[in-house]
């Protein structure tokens, strides 16, 4: 059973501002390159690489974060591939206390997939993990879930995906308690991320990510109270490049609208038209400034 699932679990390797490195896990949902992980794995990153280990051999592909739901600690990554091995989906609603489960991921930088087994030890848990968002509807398990397991698979004993592991929900001073986002709760959120991220008509010519926590703001060298969207990549020749936006800029306002998340930014764009000129209020470690950007139609496949 585990051997069938391992090709569907990937190692997500990130680079953050200042050159820091991070490791997490992800789960392949679609053979055409769609992968789900935790938002906290990709938050504040400048680049994402996905290491695969399936029948096609070990290889690493550049990933694009197509959207996030920070309030649910979920993110969707796309890689340029059409032969991935998607995980089989299960139903978390059918789980009962004591059911056996297996956690698969890439914890602690050990260099390969790790498999731990346990039981479902709690259902519909609500956790407030320190600096992260309040997470509801979680599965609790005694299968070991450590840093690096974030975004990996929790599967039932038939190898079907029942949860997305989230090490962010670990509780201080506890042992043998791990948490996963129930797949029944995650799938509608993932579908919305894909719809929003894949279909947004307007484009500023940059990749962005939410700054929705004190820790994310501090990593950017900003006041902990700063909220907005951070520019993680500027595409050559696009509107953002022409307006001289730079990686690390945080957009806190679009015209007269306050921007506190990626969702708010996308919603603000959807109320405008191709060719509209908007004023962005930006802040970086050097201080605030403004930039005027002309919105363009999103290309089929943005260069990146």
Residues noted as catalytic: 40, 73, 150
Burial of 154 (0-12, 13-18, 19+ CB in 10 A): buried
Half-sphere exposure of 78 (CA within 13 A, CB side): 16
**Closest to 164 in 3D by CA, of 35, 290, 55:** 35
| Whole-angstrom distance, CA of residue 58 vs CA of residue 32 | 17
Contacts of 1 (CB under 8 A, 6+ apart): 102, 155, 157, 158, 159
Q: Does residue 229 contact residue 253 with C-beta atoms inside 8 Å?
A: no
Distance CA(181)–CA(137), nearest Å, equals 7
């Amino acid at each position: 059973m585990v051997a069938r699932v391992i090709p569907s679990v990937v190692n997500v390797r990130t680079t953050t501002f200042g050159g820091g490195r991070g490791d997490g896990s992800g789960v392949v949902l679609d053979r055409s390159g769609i992968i789900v992980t935790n938002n906290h794995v990709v938050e504040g990153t400048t680049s994402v690489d996905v290491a695969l280990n399936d029948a096609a051999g070990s290889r690493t592909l550049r990933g694009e974060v197509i959207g996030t739901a920070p309030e649910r600690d979920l993110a969707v990554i796309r890689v340029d591939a059409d032969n991935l091995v998607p995980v089989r989906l299960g139903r978390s609603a059918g789980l009962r206390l004591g059911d056996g489960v297996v956690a698969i991921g890439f914890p602690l930088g050990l260099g390969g997939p790790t498999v731990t087994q346990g039981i479902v030890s709690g259902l519909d848990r609500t956790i407030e993990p320190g600096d992260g968002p309040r997470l509801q509807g979680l599965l609790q398990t005694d299968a070991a879930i450590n840093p690096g397991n974030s975004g990996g698979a929790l599967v039932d004993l038939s190898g079907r995906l029942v949860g997305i592991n989230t090490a962010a929900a670990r509780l201080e001073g506890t042992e043998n308690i791990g948490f996963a986002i129930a797949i029944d709760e995650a799938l509608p959120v993932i579908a919305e991320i894909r719809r929003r991220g894949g279909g947004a008509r307007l484009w500023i010519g940059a990749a962005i990510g939410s700054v929705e926590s004190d820790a994310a703001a501090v990593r950017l060298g900003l006041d902990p109270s700063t909220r907005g969207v951070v520019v993680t990549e500027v595409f050559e020749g696009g509107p953002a490049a022409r307006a001289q936006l730079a990686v690390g800029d945080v957009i806190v306002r679009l015209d007269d609208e306050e921007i506190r998340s990626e969702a708010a930014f996308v919603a603000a764009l959807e109320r405008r038209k191709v060719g509209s000129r908007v004023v962005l209020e930006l802040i970086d470690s050097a201080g605030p400034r403004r930039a005027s950007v002309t919105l363009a139609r999103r290309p089929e496949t943005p260069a990146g």
